[in-house]
Structure 1
Amino acid sequence: MKCNLYSHYLKRGLCILSLLTAAATTTRAQNDVMMQAFYWNVPVNEAAKNGTWWDNLRGKAAELKSAGITGIWVPAPSKGNWGITDMGYGVYDHYDLGNYLQKGSTETRFGSKQELVNMLNEMHIAPRIDVYADIILNHVYSGDENEEVNPAVKAYVFGEAHNGANTAFPTNEVKWVIPNAQPGDYYIQIKGYNLNWGAAESERGYDVNINWTGAPTVDNNFWEFEPNNGNGQTNNFPGSGHTVRAHISNTSDIDEFKVTVTTAANIVIKLTSRKELSNPFKWEWADQTNGYYPVAIWYNTANLASTTLQARTNTGITYVNHTGTGEQNYSWNYSHFHPSDANDWLGGPGSDEIITNTKFFGNDFNTFNTTVQSRLKTWGAWLASTIGFDGFRLDFVRGYQETFAADWIKNLPKLNNKQRFIVGKYWGSGFRIKNWVNTLKTNGAVATGFDFPLKSTLTDMCNGTESSYNMAWLNNAGLIRTSDGNNLPDSSVVTFVDNHDTGKEHDKWVTKDFRMAYAYMLTHQGRPCIFYPHYYGVKQEDAANAAVSVTAPASLRTDINTLIYIRKTYLGGGLSVLSQSGNPVPSGDTYNVYIARRQGNGTKGGGIVVLNNHGTNTKGLWIDSSPAGYENLAGKKLVNAANGQDTVTVQADGRVFLSAPARGYRVYVKATDYVNPQALMVSAQPVEVMNKVMNDTYIKEGVSIFPNPTTTRADINFQLNKPAAVSVAIFDMSGKEITTLYRGNREAGRVTLNWNCSAAPAGTYICLIKADQATFRKMIMVSK
């Protein structure tokens, strides 16, 4: 119960601190903690086609604000190709935010447009939480209803991807059609040009489905049989709608199938790459860039492949009529995607370089096309100015050129005369992330990057043991502190422990001792991003095997709240690793103990964080506490910032022994800086009792304090809606009650009180009004 009360009190104090910090111009505390406020496959009522996530987040607003979170990253808001189940990354209609009946539902997986707007409005009530939408600029998805004739793809395929120089178009994404085929015999020859000729023939399989009557698709395990290499050698196709399994034996091999049409109709040919697995036998999906296509189609001695045959793709995308404010109406066609013409090309997945022309997901936008650029930039500006998003997380930035990313960012309307917050997902090496951030800067756009190298290090630390992981590996971990030349300033880096991508693949999870990773992240430089499942104890399941799961302990939320409080109250400057440069003793214990000193925020003097990865023992180090450029701590008393306990006094020579519990952390601050989180609590009401509740239930038209700022007196006025037990008191920033202006029962009506603050020192004060079980807080600034 004590722990719960502490967490409860802490939240209330953080809410006050959030308000105070926003107003205090002399404070440089790090009000920068953000949260990824979703995870893979968040709940949805698929049967009722009802998304509830926006409402869920709206309901969490009060506690997120109370915890000190100032920004949330939310899912991609646009309608996805898979309707109510789409996680947003299968984006279909950019302007459908859950307000048009498309793809089987009106709402998105996350809810309706109105529910989205309601959530945004709730987050924007002071103390404000900024909301960052996930943005997909690389691609859109589509369905068979978006089919169109695509001459660019036909030329690309029949040119065998520029004679093998470029990646093949995916076999399964082309429907080959002979329109209005007249009665007679058709000899359809299939070839594969981008096959692995060094592998076994079983690796070079494919399915061919041919339909000329509109019959339903069936697969009765028909296999091709040799000889069927043309020139009189053929297989009679088993029937319209059937699927035949086949292989390509060698570079000169083709497979020929005879189709007899009795009534004029379209002949539709669908190909899919396959491969065999044995023990037991399986006919498996294979790489679709194997280059299968109908190289020739003979009818009455004429080859229709080069003339009549059409390549059709799902790139003719049209939408319902958009009628909302600022919503655009247009359609897409093949010219907006790669390959857009016979000279365009597709690339492979590469390693971690920029891959502008790769069909990694869906229909790959040709982001060099001026129409594509203009439409996507207009959409981004609409999301900001009309819908109200404060910033954006750019998905898969490897998929399009940096100059377009920069132009998209620069086109956004400014927020408070500044460029909006942008973070890009560049899942790659530190070198690549640094270059992406710097290239955007060169092109006039400011963006941050996710610190994937640090995520890897923190995962290894948490999942490792006292013997397998050397804590000295933290010394130069991540993009900010790396010593390999690929570092970025802390203002360009967002740090994280897990996200929705790593959270759906069990081999990338943090699986234990989560608090160690958060202790590092929330005390160090960079903008920290908390993962929703870690904070709320949501079970993470492997996307490929739901039986594999992990759940962060409930206690982690208290740790995170405590660490946010410490970050906001004490920290804000540079950092020095004392277990590296502070003459640590015993030096061998640096294998298990990491100690770093972080500078302060202009109000408080910073702190020293200690991490210990030993499995059973409390461990620590003697270190020099005061590196050059830092306040000299010699002779000063330090305390554990979380509870005011664990005190230690620095020796006259600046040496001090600091420790942390097994698989845990401590943060030490100067005793003279220490602010007891519980002392900040001026009320013990639940955090959910916010000013809004007080307004709705007890007070009409809010609370007026005039003048504010003031020098000698402040008049406090409010209209009480109904009879209540009322108290009005003034508190200073330490949580100390300065004076009680009123305590007693009041009837409904006007309440007017005066605070004589002529003797009060200059500073920020809290006016706390209680009416029955509700509370209202308002700041009063006293200047002299």
Structure 2
Amino acid sequence: MKNGILLQGFHWYIKPEENLWKKLKENVDEYKQLGFSALWLPPAYKGVGGKNDNGYGVYDLYDLGEFNQKGSIETKYGTKDDYLACIEAFQNKGIDIYGDIVLNHKMGADGTEIVNAREVNRHNTNEIISNDEQIEVYTLFTFPGRNKKYSDFIWHWYHFDGIDYDEKTHRNTIFLFDHKSWDQEVDDENGNYDYLMGTDLDFSNEETVQEVTSWLHWYLDITHIKGLRLDAVKHIPAYFYQELLPKLRQDYQEELFTVGEYWHGDVYHLENYLKEVNFEMSLFDVPLHYHFYDASHSENYDMSHIFDQTLVSMYPSNAVTFVDNHDTEPSQSLASFIPDEFKGQAYCLILLRKEGYPCVFYGDLEGIEYENISSKKAILQKIMSLRKEYNNGYQDDYFDHPHLIGWTRHDEFKSMAVVLTNSTGGIKSMYVGKNFSNCYFVNAFNSSQRVCINEEGYGDFYCEDKNFAVYVKEQS
């Protein structure tokens, strides 16, 4: 969709009593009015923590809040009926739903099995550091609460390749099961970054691949969602999704927009993965997020290079740009939250440009009470409105100063000038079109700041210290 905007519809500290599915459904008209074209919902299936699990500690993919498992029927976000009603409400309003897909691991097994395994070096998982030994592992998943509804598949140790706990000795370390090897075409951190957590799925096992593929067809059939957000793709062999995604699109005759989470600050790792999956998906632009973080924490950061070596600069059609997400919240392991004084600049850089598919974070839109993060809805509403009305036509960049940068979007009917800084403000002369000569442009965020466009179509646009400004033609 032209000028589409994705909303990540959750943060890490959503409370079970909020009943997120119902809460989101109540906001469908507001979110439509704001201009969101798609909504990314959190993992909808039962996790090891029951109704306190965010969904990333996957237990039963087939339990969308329907069965009494792990201490509750509902998930953290509500029941299956609530979930399906939420999806229907948004898609009836023309807002596509993207489901969060977590296939890397499983947790909370229903029983243990005895297997032979060897310990590996946590910092180089290719290095075996013990002899074969018998260990007792939580790898038996029978889902008694579901009683074989939807699938009678039983998970055994041989559907996985490793685990990080031995019940017999109560040791927390990474074990590689006998006659197994880590999956290939994964990230190269720790030698081979197949293993992340829990019981790690073995994607070289045909039964494993068949079961998760069957589940994904079931999930798409029951939800009718329009897109996927794939969790932890750097821990899953690239060939799996490279083969699966085209088949799904053919089966459903849908675009099935897909974005993967490959968390790495080096854009060349992202580029390599895109090539491995034959560009069958987009990726979140993690390098750009880290550029925002660096720019917001150092006045010496060179803003003229903020898009250098980012995914949106190299592969704009495969880049989902974002400012923050649930993993970058202050208390999370990837904490790199963008502070308030740079939040507006960062959102201008993703929402008011031609390239990339921007994603707005629910925590920025609605606030996060647990972490005392205030809502930025007023600012976001205005920036998103400007995107809808003015983010068209040519784009001229003025990234010619280490602190004060700007750009314009213009066609024969409308024009917009954006200028921002992480340090000292100033004036930047930018072209908005000769057809606007002798017109006044006004800062949408401070109406006292007006600029007269000269005969050549240029204006001298002012920005205050550590701030941003967006100028559009003054309404008569």
Scaled by the length of structure 1, the TM-score of the pair is: 0.53
Cα separation, 2, equivalents of 1:469 and 1:165: 36
Does the 8 A contact of 1:355 with 1:399 survive in 2? Answer: no
| Residues 379 and 666 of structure 1: CA distance in aligned 2, closer, same or farther (over 3 Å) | same
**Alignment match of 1:562 (pick from 382, 387, 393):** 382
**Alignment match of 2:439 (pick from 637, 659, 673):** 637
Q: CA deviation at 1:42?
A: 1.1
Give the partner amino acid of 2:114: V
Corresponding residue of 1:470: 302
Corresponding residue of 2:22: 55
Give a deviation string over 1:371-411, Cα, whole Å, max 9, x none.
Answer: 21121122222222212222111111011111101223223
Corresponding residue of 1:517: 346
Q: CA deviation at 1:473?
A: 3.0
1:177-192 aligned at under 5 Å gives the runs none
Aligned length: 455
Give the partner amino acid of 1:470: D
| Residues 659 and 89 of structure 1: CA distance in aligned 2, closer, same or farther (over 3 Å) | same
Corresponding residue of 2:170: none
Corresponding residue of 1:531: 361
**Alignment match of 1:449 (pick from 270, 283, 299):** 283
Corresponding residue of 1:484: none
Corresponding residue of 1:499: 325
Cα separation, 2, equivalents of 1:94 and 1:82: 14
Corresponding residue of 2:157: 334
SS at match of 1:378: helix
Does the 8 A contact of 2:226 with 2:254 survive in 1? Answer: no
Cα separation, 2, equivalents of 1:352 and 1:530: 30
Deviates more, 1:397-406 or 1:591-600: 591-600
Give the partner amino acid of 2:16: V
Does the 8 A contact of 2:441 with 2:453 survive in 1? Answer: no
Cα separation, 1, equivalents of 2:89 and 2:44: 17
Cα separation, 2, equivalents of 1:369 and 1:125: 39
Cα separation, 1, equivalents of 2:442 and 2:245: 43
Does the 8 A contact of 2:69 with 2:145 survive in 1? Answer: no
Q: CA deviation at 1:434?
A: 1.7
Q: CA deviation at 1:662?
A: 3.2
Cα separation, 2, equivalents of 1:520 and 1:75: 25
Cα separation, 2, equivalents of 1:370 and 1:569: 50
Gaps spanning 5+ residues in structure 2: where?
A: 163-175
The structure that is helix-richer by fraction is 2
Corresponding residue of 2:428: 621
**Alignment match of 1:663 (pick from 442, 466, 470):** 466
Deviates more, 1:312-321 or 1:451-460: 312-321
Corresponding residue of 1:407: 243
Corresponding residue of 1:255: none
Q: CA deviation at 1:641?
A: 6.7
| Residues 359 and 643 of structure 1: CA distance in aligned 2, closer, same or farther (over 3 Å) | closer
| Residues 355 and 93 of structure 1: CA distance in aligned 2, closer, same or farther (over 3 Å) | farther
Corresponding residue of 2:126: 166
Q: CA deviation at 1:663?
A: 2.6
Q: CA deviation at 1:507?
A: 4.7
Q: CA deviation at 1:347?
A: 8.3
Deviates more, 1:315-324 or 1:389-398: 315-324
Deviates more, 1:452-461 or 1:631-640: 631-640
**Alignment match of 1:389 (pick from 205, 212, 225):** 225
Corresponding residue of 1:121: 88
Q: CA deviation at 1:614?
A: 3.8
Give the partner amino acid of 1:150: V
1:663-702 aligned at under 5 Å gives the runs 663-670=466-473
Cα separation, 2, equivalents of 1:647 and 1:324: 67
SS at match of 2:368: coil
Give the partner amino acid of 2:338: V
Give a deviation string over 1:32-61, Cα, whole Å, max 9, x none.
Answer: 11111111131124xxxxx71211211221
Give a deviation string over 1:106-149, Cα, whole Å, max 9, x none.
Answer: 111111101111111211222x2111111111111124x32112
Give a deviation string over 1:456-494, Cα, whole Å, max 9, x none.
Answer: 1112223334xx33332335363223xxxxx11x22111
| Residues 29 and 346 of structure 1: CA distance in aligned 2, closer, same or farther (over 3 Å) | closer
Gaps spanning 5+ residues in structure 1: where?
A: 1-27, 46-50, 169-193, 195-290, 295-309, 482-486, 542-549, 581-589, 677-784
Cα separation, 2, equivalents of 1:612 and 1:450: 24
| Residues 124 and 148 of structure 1: CA distance in aligned 2, closer, same or farther (over 3 Å) | same
Does the 8 A contact of 2:126 with 2:192 survive in 1? Answer: no
| Residues 558 and 105 of structure 1: CA distance in aligned 2, closer, same or farther (over 3 Å) | same
Q: Quick check: 1:578 aligned with 2:398?
A: yes
Corresponding residue of 1:551: 373
Give a deviation string over 1:643-681, Cα, whole Å, max 9, x none.
Answer: 79544333234443111233322223456xx6x9xxxxx
SS at match of 1:609: strand
Cα separation, 2, equivalents of 1:593 and 1:43: 41
Q: CA deviation at 1:591?
A: 3.3
Corresponding residue of 2:261: 425
Cα separation, 2, equivalents of 1:292 and 1:101: 41
1:196-275 aligned at under 5 Å gives the runs none
| Residues 456 and 644 of structure 1: CA distance in aligned 2, closer, same or farther (over 3 Å) | closer
Does the 8 A contact of 2:115 with 2:177 survive in 1? Answer: no
Corresponding residue of 2:274: 437
Give the partner amino acid of 1:569: E
SS at match of 2:340: coil
Give the partner amino acid of 2:293: T
SS at match of 2:89: helix
SS at match of 1:97: coil
Q: CA deviation at 1:437?
A: 2.1
Give the partner amino acid of 1:149: I
Does the 8 A contact of 2:422 with 2:467 survive in 1? Answer: yes
Cα separation, 2, equivalents of 1:570 and 1:634: 14
Give the partner amino acid of 1:378: S
Corresponding residue of 2:14: 42
Corresponding residue of 1:87: 54
Cα separation, 2, equivalents of 1:391 and 1:561: 24
Corresponding residue of 2:403: 592
Corresponding residue of 1:652: 455
Give the partner amino acid of 1:433: L
| Residues 438 and 346 of structure 1: CA distance in aligned 2, closer, same or farther (over 3 Å) | closer
SS at match of 2:27: helix
Does the 8 A contact of 1:82 with 1:103 survive in 2? Answer: yes
Corresponding residue of 1:587: none
Corresponding residue of 1:150: 115
Cα separation, 2, equivalents of 1:351 and 1:345: 15
Q: Quick check: 1:608 aligned with 2:438?
A: no
Does the 8 A contact of 1:377 with 1:411 survive in 2? Answer: no
Give the partner amino acid of 1:591: P
Give the partner amino acid of 1:595: G
Cα separation, 1, equivalents of 2:151 and 2:391: 46
| Residues 475 and 98 of structure 1: CA distance in aligned 2, closer, same or farther (over 3 Å) | closer
Does the 8 A contact of 1:381 with 1:411 survive in 2? Answer: no
| Residues 89 and 574 of structure 1: CA distance in aligned 2, closer, same or farther (over 3 Å) | farther
Scaled by the length of structure 2, the TM-score of the pair is: 0.85
| Residues 416 and 650 of structure 1: CA distance in aligned 2, closer, same or farther (over 3 Å) | farther
Corresponding residue of 1:458: 292
Q: CA deviation at 1:87?
A: 0.9
Corresponding residue of 1:316: 140
Q: CA deviation at 1:166?
A: 3.2
Cα separation, 2, equivalents of 1:91 and 1:58: 24
